[in-house]
Amino acid sequence: MLVRKHEGVLVQGITGKQGTFWSERMVESGTRIVAGASPGKGGRNVNGIPVYDAVSDAVAQHEVAASVLFVPPMGARAAALDAIHAGVRKLVILTEHIPYQDVMRVLAEAAEHGTQVLGPNTAGLVLPGETAVGIMPGFAANIFQPGDIGVISRSGSLGTLLALNLVSAGYGQSAFIGIGGDPILGTTTTDALRTLQADPRTRAVVLVGEIGGTMEEEAAEYITTMTKPVVAFIAGRSAPPGRRMGHAGAIVTGSKGSGESKARALAEAGATVLDLPSQVSEALIGHGITAIDLRTTTPIT
């Protein structure tokens, strides 16, 4: 799922501290926020953005392509369903600790109504120079610059580190997709890879994974069919056996889900697996993807 500059964005929970702060940052990044929604707060105005009691009220007045949720865990299901039933077809759920049964209900309703879901427990997405939807610093020029490298990450902080390393080496990003760290997600690693494979602006993909779950191993099968090179970094490869670490999804079960299992599957699929995030530029050069000096737009030699 990508949100383009021309698409209207709604912020659910915009009157809260985080919703207010990050709505300013998203606008600073180029995002076209057209409205906010907070039950009982309709009629207010946040940073020049009109606020409505319900998503349906906002949709009646504005063209809304996507909604981002700054909503507490126990209110996330109602907020997400409000957006889905109002006809919003792109949903970014930042909230973590949502009960699993609520997540499953939201994803079932989204599938029935044709709504794409990013998250829950996602940091959001960024299209440098266009939009940022969520809590990623799309406004920070030292982290995000327009370019042709797509980044997929379960972790917002690790994804930020890889994005920073790319810009430091002279690369820019076509898109950052934070899929989220929970075990049950609306967008999987494979889904995000399909999006970037189809994106004409993306020339190569950097995949940031973690121990736990099997998404990266399942994605390896799809990588064998891709025409774009994939560079991968798996965090937690040195984690002690049996130790639960990181996100709720970082639970190793059986022979799958370990860092070494993921790294092996990705390497066998043709991806270049990094030992350190700082090796990303070297790996891209190995695939013939030359860095561009972002100040002069000329190749770095």
Query: CB under 8 Å to 140, separation ≥6 — which residues?
Result: none
Based on the residue annotation, tell me whether 6 is a catalytic residue of this protein.
no
How far CA 249 is from CA of 92, 215, 236, 260, in Å, comes to 18, 10, 12, 17
Q: Which residues contact 276 (CB under 8 A, 6 or more apart)?
A: 233
Residue 144, CA atoms < 13 Å, CB-side half-sphere:
24
Residue 297 tokens, joined: 């737009």
Best CA proximity match to 32, nearest among 6, 52, 14: 6
Between the CA of residue 20 and those of 47, 73, 243, what are the distances in Å?
8, 18, 38
CA angle 233–239–241, rounded 5-degree value: 130
In the chain, the amino acid numbered 101 is Q
The long-range contacts involving 290-294, CB below 8 angstroms and separated by at least 24 positions, are 291/169, 291/170, 291/171, 292/147, 292/170, 292/171, 292/172, 293/170, 294/145, 294/147, 294/167, 294/170, 294/172
Q: Catalytic residue among 85, 113, 247, 287, which?
A: 247
Distance CA 42, CA 62 (A): 15
CB–CB of 71/49 below 8 Å?
Answer: no
Query: What does each C-alpha distance from 301 to 92, 169, 292 come to in angstroms?
Result: 39, 12, 9
Q: Smallest Cα–Cα separation from 85: which of 110, 64, 58, 68? A: 110
Which of the residues are catalytic? Answer: 247
